[in-house]
A and B are shown apart, each in its own frame.
Chain A
Amino acid sequence: MSSPAKPSEPSMLHPELGAPDDADAIHKNGRRLDHAEGSSRPLRSRPEEQPRGAKIHGSRPVDQAEAAARFIAAPEHEKMHDERLWDLRQKRDREMHGIPEWEELRALASAIKEHTLTHLDEYLDQFEATARLNGVHVHWAQDAAEHNHIVHGILRDHGARSLIKSKSMLTEECGLRAYMASVGIEVIETDLGERIQQLDNEDPSHVVVPAVHKLRTDVAQVFARTLGTDPDNSDVHYLAEAQREANRPLILAADAGMTGCNFAIAETGGVTVCTNEGNADLSANVPKLHIASIGIEKIIPRIEHLAVFVRLLSRSALGSPITQYTSHFRAPREGGEMHVVLVDNGRSARLGLAEFWTSLKCIRCGACMNTCPVYRRSGGLSYGATYSGPIGLIIDPTFNARKYSNLPFASTLNGSCTNVCPVKINIHEQIYAWRRELVKQHQTPFVKKAAMKVAGELLSHPAAYRAAIAATDYALAHLPRFVIYNGLNAWGKHREVPHSPKQTFHSWYHANRGEGS
């Protein structure tokens, strides 16, 4: 762990994005508000065509670097993305410093999750029994297809044709919207960011802020096309109001509502959902029918444990002390009906992976994404997967080792993800372990493998390594550019390779601190 720095004003990575005025901001009692995912200072972007995400070709390996290169080639998008997520990271640090027991909470959260996962069958059993006693219908789905069939079945039994829902990464993972479209059921996302993504036919790019890769002008275009707003008006208040007004009649007319689940409590059979917009509460409380989709790893044993996770979740995710709404659904309301679908979809198999099972501790806060230099610069859609950023690198290969074989290489292994993780997942170590695993499974491309073989030889022979380093430093300083900056050297794409030192550390040490000195 790095030692905590002194809390200070957030710094800017791209000062040119700073806005001279702050007309958009909400001030209360002389204080500029930055709760929820609000930025701590005014930012302004210039219009630019939106770079799109990774090109998907079935199960062929996703070329994350290719999509990232296109994101980087759109500097307004890249800078705004980088700046906003770094701002969330800094707000997170500010909140962390406000809680003396922060590290103790992280340790508790990790321990509670590890205990639960090692007794998951017992706690799922308890959750099911308690939920049934509360009058909740409990369903079990082994995979995405079964989840979608179950949800469809519930809707069919109620003659439901439209479904309003709040954001859920699990339903993204299951491809629920595409499935529902194929059976003629209209799904309406009720979270602003998620609705933007749905209307633009794009996946969410971040687990918490799904449209963070878009500029206000991109949203203006999407809404002009789909909601009939003025394409030249990119005022954020105008755009948000237009979406609210367009969605409200759909919410009132919906036949059923759906939410995800942040925490499911075995002791009470309750489901806890955290949102800022209040859209989960609308989805669950306006229609008669409420369906909650729950990944089986979301179980926690007791109500008292919620305090630990709720204190950590929004502070880690957004640098806000709590989400605007923390909703606890324990039983159907009078005259209503509540269903929960417990979904496995690969989780029970992951539990058996000795090096990777602790990735199931994840509470989907996105802190690892906000701090990751690769993620911030390349955008979430470049990963071509439901889960992007550091946590995605260690979860996605469990779904499809070939398709996501490149992802564990989209990291500098700097460890910042591990340091900010509220449940203490050793993310960067698992990224490294996945590289080894994928090489073992022959899922890595030839160039990477050949280079690794050479590196392996050198690293196991110190003398050869020293000679090679000295020779490389000399070569880097004298070789023509095309030899260094070519397609085989990913480190030379989009950046200059650092100047090589005149002397290696080893030769400097030998000369200055060697025998006799």
Chain B
Amino acid sequence: MSSRDEILARIRANRPQVDRPLPAVPLFDEHPPVELLTAFKDSLGRMGGIFLDPPASGDALAPVREKLTHAKVVCSTVPEIAGNRDIAAIGAPQELADVDFAIVRAAFAVAETGSVLLSDRELTVNAIAYLAQHLIVLLDPADIVFNLHHAYRRPEFRDRPYACFHTGPSATADIEGVLIHGAQGVRSLSVLPIARSLSPLSA
């Protein structure tokens, strides 16, 4: 008998003969926040993320351009910002090791936790979101859901090979509880609210 069959046979022989029905999981959304964007911003801040407030000038992308002033290698997967490392031309993830800033768009975000979801569709090469030193995420405020129950109804978890909630930057406090941003992944994560349809095609 194969290991598979032996394990399954033991489980069948041993599983407790008790009735345990599968419960229905409510959405727990009776009390949503008045403003999803405000709630998201607050949650993101708690988790060490940076919310880029749209400037009064009306130039929505100005905070992103400001961040990129001193960056040598910029890799963008969004049409709004041009980088100087073409992700479509990448042969292996290791070629992204020297990227200073990566710019991507979130599939959606979660107000409860301040998370943004990035799937392989948004990233093109998954490793970009971890090898880059800093990550900037564009988020359409219309793409924010209230809580994780709503989040897990999204199609990405069934359709995409890879999808990851990013909630603030890579962090650790493994030594004496001292918080460090930039443990093994990005040192900072910034989120810029900008609608998909209103985005200019280039900057």
Q: Which residues does A use to contact B, with CB under 8 Å? A: 24-26, 28-29, 31, 33-39, 43, 45, 80, 84, 87, 100-101, 104, 108, 111-112, 114-115, 117-121, 124-125, 128, 134, 140-142, 146, 190-193, 196, 209-212, 214-216, 219, 236-237, 239-241, 244, 247-248, 251-252, 268, 270, 276-279, 281-282, 285-286, 296, 301, 303-308, 310-311, 320-334, 342, 344, 348-349, 351-352, 354, 357
Cβ of A118 and Cβ of B16 under 8 Å apart?
A: yes
Closest-by-CB residue of A relative to B113 is A322
Which of these, B7, B43, B157, B164, contacts A321 with CB under 8 Å?
B43
A34/B162 contact (C-beta < 8 A), A192-B172, A307-B149 known: no
- Report chain B residues within 8 Å CB of A193: 172, 174-175
Q: Please provide the 9 A-B residue pairs with the shortest distance between their CB atoms, ordered closest to farther.
A: A278-B185, A39-B177, A352-B14, A193-B174, A38-B179, A277-B183, A331-B161, A348-B10, A236-B178
Which of these, B147, B166, B176, contacts A236 with CB under 8 Å?
B176
* B76: Cβ under 8 A from any A Cβ: no
Interface residues of B in 137-186 (CB under 8 A from A): 147-149, 151-153, 157-158, 160-186
Closest-by-CB residue of B relative to A237 is B180
Question: Shortest CB–CB separation between residue A113 and chain B, in angstroms?
Answer: 9
Whole-angstrom distance between the alpha carbons of A33 and B7 in the complex? 46
Cβ of A239 and Cβ of B175 under 8 Å apart?
A: yes
Whole-angstrom distance between the alpha carbons of A276 and B22 in the complex? 31
- Report chain A residues within 8 Å CB of B193: none
- Report chain A residues within 8 Å CB of B97: 248, 252
Interface size on B, residues (CB 8 A): 76
- Report chain A residues within 8 Å CB of B112: 321
- Report chain A residues within 8 Å CB of B166: 324-325
**Interface hit among B62-70, B77-85, B123-131, B194-202:** B123-131
- Report chain A residues within 8 Å CB of B3: 140-142, 146
Q: Which residues does B use to contact A, with CB under 8 Å? A: 2-4, 6-8, 10-16, 18, 20-23, 25-26, 28, 31, 43, 45-48, 50, 93-94, 97, 112-115, 120, 126-127, 129-131, 147-149, 151-153, 157-158, 160-186
Cβ of B173 and Cβ of A111 under 8 Å apart?
A: no
Cβ of A322 and Cβ of B45 under 8 Å apart?
A: no
- Report chain A residues within 8 Å CB of B43: 321
Closest-by-CB residue of A relative to B157 is A303
Cβ of A33 and Cβ of B46 under 8 Å apart?
A: yes
Cβ of A33 and Cβ of B48 under 8 Å apart?
A: yes
Whole-angstrom distance between the alpha carbons of A71 and B179 in the complex? 25
Question: Shortest CB–CB separation between residue A276 and chain B, in angstroms?
Answer: 5
Cβ of B160 and Cβ of A357 under 8 Å apart?
A: no
Which of these, B14, B147, B149, contacts A304 with CB under 8 Å?
B149
Cβ of B172 and Cβ of A26 under 8 Å apart?
A: no
Cβ of A37 and Cβ of B177 under 8 Å apart?
A: yes
- Report chain B residues within 8 Å CB of A239: 175
